[in-house]
Structure 1
């Protein structure tokens, strides 16, 4: 397996304006840096699969949105445009909440009822592809208008997260951790922007006034809390690799100390409700206007604009160490998968190809504030106008940034990082389990999963 090299995207169309070209190059390079450490070469396979199920290319197909309720509106616009272009195809939209989509797929794989097309990101890709549920898409992409139009770093990330050889989902976007902060509250308190961890902790303390029900920070304690905790841990510890040999570094003493400091914010500078908050509740709570900072990702930008209006907040890359070094965990690429059980793969593929095309991909990512996978969409003007997206890309282009690659290659990763450990992290927040106990348990599970994965690959 070979490391992904830094690369830049060249659009098939000539563009004018030096600033615009620089933004595109930064986006491409930052995505490659942020998303994955290694990827194996494609073996050139990925044929269309069971040709008997290609179907007529007409009729109804079912699409599962893996972030239903959050991206429903933009998907319905894209579907409407697709059906206008393909009047003989009807897309049945089913929105599945992000926190339950993995279990929905697993249940459908075992009992039937999978969609034709579904949102499948890197975090769950390995587990789903290992069950043989997804169609390899390399040949379809090669023979389509998408050839040469997908960010190469995202493509290699997808391959590395599957079987290391084939593309089991067409990448649509990339996200990065973002620290959102209230510029008006910081200005009123005379605080510097929380660009470093020392400034972050100072602001969390000084912006908290429990008598007025105002808090410096909101911490994620509900569903999806593990990735945020890992980002805070590695960001403070300065450890730059998830593995040391065949053993994980999650329970290294430096990470234990970092987690202790981070969870120590709970109820001191955060609301007590945080222990149960998933991202929707956390974002809504921050948007109420009484909390100084929020760690989420680029995807909540539009929510903040609607709730707070422009000019009252900013989204910046995660804090740096005191010496200016930024360490952060990788964030998964999202994508669209074609399921082998589909009886109308021809129509389903037309929808994937359309959704990943320039206009639709740009439309979706602008709505989400994420980095487009389509290289032409990555050059659109909105990318430069969207400060959080631009700043995240520029920061990742900085040579001081170190990326800790999460183990998306492990089929058990999504389960380990969610259902198996979220309840224990809540115990840590509540003082019923120590940070060391929690991280030792997490490390034991990860080491066993890594050993099993290596055994199966022999």
Structure 2
């Protein structure tokens, strides 16, 4: 099934989903000390909850439509959805928390959960989640992601949807070079060398040197040497240690020795990564299912494929599970009522509607088994990659956001050009998350 033929109208889903019953059955409300029932405001007036979030398509109304349905079936609660860019959500959150006036709930990026939790601003959700009759339907990796990778940690957030990174490649380029699809890291390097033609402006791999490109770096390091080559038993970094530096050499040598990345790689972010694939500049790139529709529409379904991340020398593969989640704030008006809303978004029907419209990967096993996701080849690769997908290391440590958004993009240019040795590059990254 192609993306163009598999799309389902969210309005059709909304009409037929029966979300009222699902939302009521799913939401396990456990009032905390001194609270009343959800939405109780001491009178007959509705409790108005503020919810901040972002969506990839700024014209999308899927969250507004879901809020409308929720509000229709919760007469004492009115959810007001405010959409804004993802970066603006975090900036506003910090200001609102410091001012003592946070929203009642929000979408939150995994990069920011540890810092917000350290401020004491999150309302723990274990008591609510544990009372869900169908909590085992959630993909375990997603629940662990809401605990920032630590099974003993509180459930900081409610799982919502996920993204699993895989490798996009150009099958037409591979066929022309007589290459099979890349299954191992050796296959990958050999293929990138074979399809690179600088005179034609073509390169084997789209390396992301701008913000958040560190994710791909850690994926490769863990694939090459296992997670133990990235993070020690205490959770601290080890990838910078002399006996582990070979992984960084391998990564930087894609530019330094093999010259299979575009000359713009150090400044390439997500937009440039996708534009290079669509323009025929690069033949492979790491990303996830949300990029599939635009790549298919530009290149044609026959000219873009996805495979799980290549297997490393140890025979294992490793990739990123990027959890998207919702937070309830301790300083909000009524955490019980806010839980009603975020648990509704995580109900099977609402999750299916949102993921169908927004392109994310459902984190309920029952929803992932739906033909819509199983028959979409890119979603299917994502689901098949889940057993090898984990939270990126160090997200729970102070300094992670600095590494992702400041240190990484500052260091990639000198490192990729060979001006900065591998050991210095890795060491300076490690400083942020020690």
TM over 0.5: yes
1:178 aligns with 2:170: no
Pick closer, same or farther for the CA change 1:431–1:438 going to 2, 3 Å: same
1:92 aligns with 2:81: yes
How far apart are the structure 1 equivalents of 2:396 and 2:300? 40
Q: TM-score normalised to the size of structure 2?
A: 0.79
In the TM superposition, residue 392 of structure 1 has moved relative to its aligned partner by 4.0
User: For residue 236 of structure 1, what is the aligned residue in structure 2?
Assistant: 224
In the TM superposition, residue 363 of structure 1 has moved relative to its aligned partner by 2.6
Please, which runs of 5 or more residues in structure 2 have no aligned partner?
Answer: 1-28
User: For residue 292 of structure 2, what is the aligned residue in structure 1?
Assistant: 301
- The DSSP-based 3-state class of the residue aligned with 1:425 is helix
- The DSSP-based 3-state class of the residue aligned with 1:243 is coil
1:418 aligns with 2:418: no
CA contact (8 A) 1:240 1:402 kept: no
How far apart are the structure 2 equivalents of 1:108 and 1:334? 21
Q: TM-score normalised to the size of structure 1?
A: 0.75
In the TM superposition, residue 276 of structure 1 has moved relative to its aligned partner by 1.7
- Write the deviation string for residues 142-178 of structure 1: whole angstroms up to 9, x where unpaired: 5567655433442244235589343221101232221
User: For residue 131 of structure 1, what is the aligned residue in structure 2?
Assistant: 119
Shifted more, 431-440 versus 421-430: the winner is: 421-430
- Write the deviation string for residues 344-378 of structure 1: whole angstroms up to 9, x where unpaired: 54553333122111122123334555432233312
1:201 paired residue among 189, 202, 227: 189
- The DSSP-based 3-state class of the residue aligned with 1:217 is coil
In the TM superposition, structure 1's runs of 4+ consecutive aligned residues that sit over 6 Å from their partners are 402-405
User: For residue 12 of structure 2, what is the aligned residue in structure 1?
Assistant: none
User: For residue 25 of structure 1, what is the aligned residue in structure 2?
Assistant: none
1:63 aligns with 2:48: no
Pick closer, same or farther for the CA change 1:165–1:294 going to 2, 3 Å: closer
2:206 paired residue among 218, 225, 228: 218
In the TM superposition, residue 380 of structure 1 has moved relative to its aligned partner by 1.1
How far apart are the structure 1 equivalents of 2:138 and 2:389? 24
In the TM superposition, residue 437 of structure 1 has moved relative to its aligned partner by 0.2
Aligned length, in residue pairs: 395
CA contact (8 A) 2:212 2:408 kept: no
Aligned-pair Cα RMSD in Å: 3.3
In the TM superposition, residue 318 of structure 1 has moved relative to its aligned partner by 1.1
Please, which runs of 5 or more residues in structure 1 have no aligned partner?
Answer: 1-44, 448-458
- The DSSP-based 3-state class of the residue aligned with 1:175 is strand
User: For residue 302 of structure 2, what is the aligned residue in structure 1?
Assistant: 311
Pick closer, same or farther for the CA change 1:433–1:69 going to 2, 3 Å: farther
User: For residue 433 of structure 1, what is the aligned residue in structure 2?
Assistant: 420
- The DSSP-based 3-state class of the residue aligned with 2:205 is strand
2:376 paired residue among 386, 392, 401: 386
User: For residue 274 of structure 2, what is the aligned residue in structure 1?
Assistant: 283
Pick closer, same or farther for the CA change 1:147–1:257 going to 2, 3 Å: closer
CA contact (8 A) 2:111 2:395 kept: yes
In the TM superposition, residue 47 of structure 1 has moved relative to its aligned partner by 5.5
